[in-house]
Amino acid sequence: MKFLPLILRNLARNKLRTALTGGAIGLAVLLVCFFLTMPAGIDVFLSQIASNVRISVHHKGGLVYQMPFAYVNKIRAVPGVVGADGVTWFGGAFEEEGHVTFPSFAIEPEHVAAVWPDYRIDQIALERFRSHRDGAIVGRQTMEKYGWRVGQEVTLRSTVWPVALTFRIVGEIPNARAPLFWFQREYLAQAMRARGVSLDIVGIVWVRVADPALVDGVMARFDAMFRNSAAETSAETEKSFFTSFFGSLQGFVTIILLVTGLVALCVLCIAANTASMAVRERAREIAILRAIGFGRRLIFTTLVAESTILATLAGGSGALLTYAFTAAVKTTTGGWNTELGPLSGFLVSPGIVAQGVGLAVVVGLVAGIAPAYGAARKPVATTLREIF
Amino acid sequence: MSPCREQTRRRPVAEPLITLRDVSRWYRRGVDVVHALEHVSLAIEGGVFAALMGPSGSGKSTLLNLLSGIDRPSAGEVWVAGRRLNDLSEDELAHWRSRHVGLIFQSYNLIPVLSAQENVELPLLLTAFGRGERTRRAATALRVVDLAPRARHVPSELSGGEQQRVAIARAIVADPDLIIADEPTGDLDARSADEVLAILRDLSRELAKTVVMVTHDPRARRWVDVVFHLDKGVLLGTEGNDALARAPAHGGVT
């Protein structure tokens, strides 16, 4: 500790350079922490939206393949199943907004309450949904995005089926993170029958079981039921399903983490360059300190401490700024950004702060080691001969 | 009476503080081998103010580095304060210097971001003294060189002579046996140079410190007890009190 004043004075020697280096490290740590919130945000998002008693059953070949609609009743008959709803992708494009698409599905309204009780959809809205053939219930996010209101008519042109259907919005899914658009399966079936096509297929069957302990057994039962059939199934938990569904985001996260690593490497080079310059400029002073009795280890330690203290202070500031910044973003956006979707979790956990500060410490240590070793390694007589 | 002659009344102590026996130092510079010192033997008693004089490249600074434990000889033996320096590692030498040697350089070489007081305290950071004791000792050292009122000033706020006096305070603050000064008056005007030489003489005379100084300044002869003349790495002879600078037990002044 008695060498701390000397270290701090040396840090304050060139204030502009110290500020710029510290700023670069702090900014890098801010970026790293900010990026690191995204994978955690996805995970928490999945935990929030995914029930631990809900299962998706879809074609083993993937979501683009359909299953016979008859599977739904067989699935409902399995012991432990509380409810099951056959969901068919409609792929509706809202032409008034330039053909934008959002998740729109034909579902069975009478089973919504059993399968998605956690969505807390108003009972009156559900009743209207069941009684109106053209009724639709829509996620709050989508309602707000397009300024829709209950009672409004909306026309969507399917990108999957050769129909354009006009729906009357009868209720809202009170979940800001669910951009869903649900309508009656029978409405789509009628439209297809009018074109001579029978709607006897289904894309996904969402199932809710009574107890989390039953989930594994029920999933195995589903897959066993349809094994060796023309449409074998793959059952997975809702979290697993959404994890796969957001697979492209995971790729994005990988790129983000890669960029994060490169940012860290860049700032390491900046810090190392600064430390080298500082040591080179002070070669004479270091030689004098060694001459008056400062040992090699002490010189090495004080120089490494110098870069580490700077990096740690800057990194700590960066991490705290991330916390403040993400808190501000969460306050202004309500924790959900439509464009960023699940990436807008911005959860700065103590672990992320620790990782940011840890990165700064490592940058400081590594940046300081090479120049400090160079300054300490050379015999003092040689250094004095070179300098004087 | 010159200070040099005045010192002749002092009794030499039994064991010399510094003894060099047949010391040579050579080092490589590219493909060449430079013989900086060749077969130098000398002894200097404790409390003596000695000067090393000679032209550039005569080996004065090399000899000073060997005496102060900054460098080690290629051949021969260097004994200072009862310790054979040849045997010590780089780190052991650093520790030894912090206890036994005070260094003064030509260009003052103070740490520019530290105040005079903090510069003087630097060698004490290597001791077990607490903060209060370090401050007290540094203040005392600054009083010795008559710079107590300038303790809080940084080097850029001090004149050349004042900076060199701070450097002297730094050299003596840890109460070393030996003070080594490499051309301490080289960058000073005549008046400041006399002030510095007077302080060094007083350290030798009143505090019984052994002071060895490299100098080109012929006026320095007036202040010192003995002068060693070197040229081309060879000790040519001594000038002054032979009893204070005598031949070592096993070898003579070359």
Tell me which residue has tokens 């010590």: B88
A293 pLDDT exceeds 60? yes
| ipTM score | 0.84
Token pair, residue B250, equals 């096993």
pLDDT of residue B10: 42
Interface test with A, best of B29, B60, B125, B168 (most A CBs within 10 A): B125
Q: Which of A47-51, A308-312, B5-9 has the lowest mean pLDDT?
A: B5-9
Cβ atoms B221, B194 nearer than 8 A = no
CB contact under 8 A, A296 and B131: no
Query: A43 CB contacts (<8 Å, ≥6 apart)?
Result: none
pLDDT of residue B5: 35
Mean pLDDT across chain A? 87
Rounded average pLDDT over A229-258: 81
CB contact under 8 A, A291 and B126: no
Distances (CA, A) of A337 to A31, A149, A325, B161: 18, 21, 15, 68
**Chain B residues near residue A298 by CB distance under 8 angstroms:** 126
Local structure of residue B13 (DSSP, 8 states)? P
Confidence of residue A201 (pLDDT cuts 50, 70, 90): very high
Confidence of residue B2 (pLDDT cuts 50, 70, 90): very low
What ranges do the domains of chain A cover?
Answer: 3-47+249-387, 66-230
CB contact under 8 A, B61 and A291: no
Residue of B nearest to A287 (CA): B109
Distances (CA, A) of A299 to B91, B201, B223: 11, 33, 37
Distances (CA, A) of B205 to A183, A311, B52, B199: 106, 51, 18, 10
B165 pLDDT exceeds 60? yes
Cβ atoms A184, A133 nearer than 8 A = yes
* HEC secondary structure over A22-47: HHHHHHHHHHHHHHHHHHHHHHHHHH
B39 pLDDT exceeds 90? yes
Q: Cα torsion at A181, A184, A187, A189 (round to 10°)? A: 110
- According to DSSP, the β-strands at A104-107 and A181-184 are parallel
pLDDT of residue A284: 87
Residue A175 has a CB neighbour count (10 Å cut-off) of 18
Distance CA A371, CA B4 (A): 47
Q: For residue A52, give the 3-state DSSP assignment.
A: coil
Distance CA A352, CA A82 (A): 39
Higher pLDDT, A152 or A256: A152
Distance from CA of B123 to the nearest CA of A (A): 7
Tell me which residue has tokens 């081998």: B33
CB contact under 8 A, A285 and B123: no
* pLDDT-above-90 percentage for chain A: 49
Confidence of residue B41 (pLDDT cuts 50, 70, 90): very high
B4 pLDDT exceeds 90? no
CB contact under 8 A, B103 and A291: yes
pLDDT of residue A298: 93
B231 pLDDT exceeds 50? yes
pLDDT tens for A118-175 read: 888 999 999 999 999 999 999 988 888 888 999 999 999 998 899 999 999 999 998 7
Distance CA B183, CA B79 (A): 23
Token pair, residue A245, equals 């569904």
Distance from CA of B7 to the nearest CA of A (A): 29
CB contact under 8 A, A388 and B91: no
User: Residues in chain A whose beta carbon is closer than 8 A to a beta carbon of chain B?
Assistant: 2-3, 5-6, 9-10, 12-13, 284-285, 288-298, 379-381, 384, 388
Distance CA B196, CA B218 (A): 15
Cβ atoms B21, B77 nearer than 8 A = yes
Confidence of residue A248 (pLDDT cuts 50, 70, 90): low
A307 pLDDT exceeds 80? yes
Q: Which of A195-204, A348-357, B116-125 has the lowest mean pLDDT?
A: A348-357
Of A111, A64, A117, A110, give the one whose Cα is nearest residue A88: A64
pLDDT of residue A32: 86
Q: Which of A339-348, B31-40, B182-191, B197-206 has the lowest mean pLDDT?
A: A339-348
Q: For residue A7, give the 3-state DSSP assignment.
A: helix
pLDDT tens for B42-55 read: 999 999 999 999 99
Which amino acid, residue A312? T
* pLDDT-above-70 percentage for chain A: 91
Distance from CA of A296 to the nearest CA of B (A): 7
Distance CA A376, CA A282 (A): 13
Size of interface A-B (CB pairs under 8 A): 73
A59: region left, alpha or beta (phi > 0 left; psi from -120 to 50 alpha): beta
Q: Which H or E run contains A289?
A: helix A283-291
CB contact under 8 A, A12 and B113: yes
Distance from CA of B248 to the nearest CA of A (A): 25
Query: B49 CB contacts (<8 Å, ≥6 apart)?
Result: B3, B7, B200, B201, B204, B205, B210, B211, B213, B223, B224, B225, B226
Distance CA A117, CA B85 (A): 86
Token pair, residue B93, equals 């030498």
Which amino acid, residue A87? V
Q: For residue B166, give the 3-state DSSP assignment.
A: helix
- Angle between helices B160-172 and B131-144 in degrees, nearest 10: 130
Local structure of residue A74 (DSSP, 8 states)? H
pLDDT tens for A20-79 read: 999 999 998 988 888 887 776 777 777 767 778 899 999 999 888 999 999 999 999 999
Distance CA B162, CA B120 (A): 13
**Chain B residues near residue A379 by CB distance under 8 angstroms:** 71, 90
Distance from CA of A256 to the nearest CA of B (A): 42
CB contact under 8 A, B113 and A388: no
User: Residues in chain B whose beta carbon is closer than 8 A to a beta carbon of chain A?
Assistant: 61, 65, 68, 70-71, 90-91, 94-95, 97-99, 101-103, 105-107, 109, 111-114, 118, 122-123, 125-126, 131, 170, 182
Distance from CA of B65 to the nearest CA of A (A): 7
CB contact under 8 A, B125 and A6: yes
Rounded average pLDDT over B63-88: 92
pLDDT of residue A177: 64
CB contact under 8 A, A380 and B103: no
Residue of A nearest to B95 (CA): A293
Closest CB from B70, B103, B112 relative to A381: B70
Which residues is B103 bridged to in the sheet? Answer: B180
CB contact under 8 A, B126 and A13: no
Token pair, residue B116, equals 């005079």
Task: Give chain B's largest Cα–Cα span.
Answer: 52
Q: Which of A105-114, A198-207, A272-281, B17-26 has the lowest mean pLDDT?
A: A272-281
Rounded average pLDDT over A84-108: 86
Token pair, residue A123, equals 């009972």
Q: For residue B198, give the 3-state DSSP assignment.
A: helix
Report field, pTM of the whole predicted structure over 0.90: no
Task: Residue count of chain B, please give it.
Answer: 254
pLDDT tens for B196-214 read: 899 999 999 988 899 999 9
pLDDT tens for A160-191 read: 899 999 999 999 998 766 778 999 999 999 99
Local structure of residue A337 (DSSP, 8 states)? B
Higher pLDDT, B21 or A145: B21
Cβ atoms B134, B181 nearer than 8 A = no
CB contact under 8 A, A379 and B123: no
Distance CA B153, CA A145 (A): 67
Higher pLDDT, A100 or B198: B198
Q: For residue B195, give the 3-state DSSP assignment.
A: helix
Distance from CA of A278 to the nearest CA of B (A): 13
CB contact under 8 A, A388 and B61: yes
Rounded average pLDDT over A238-259: 76
Token pair, residue B9, equals 């009344």
Confidence of residue A336 (pLDDT cuts 50, 70, 90): low
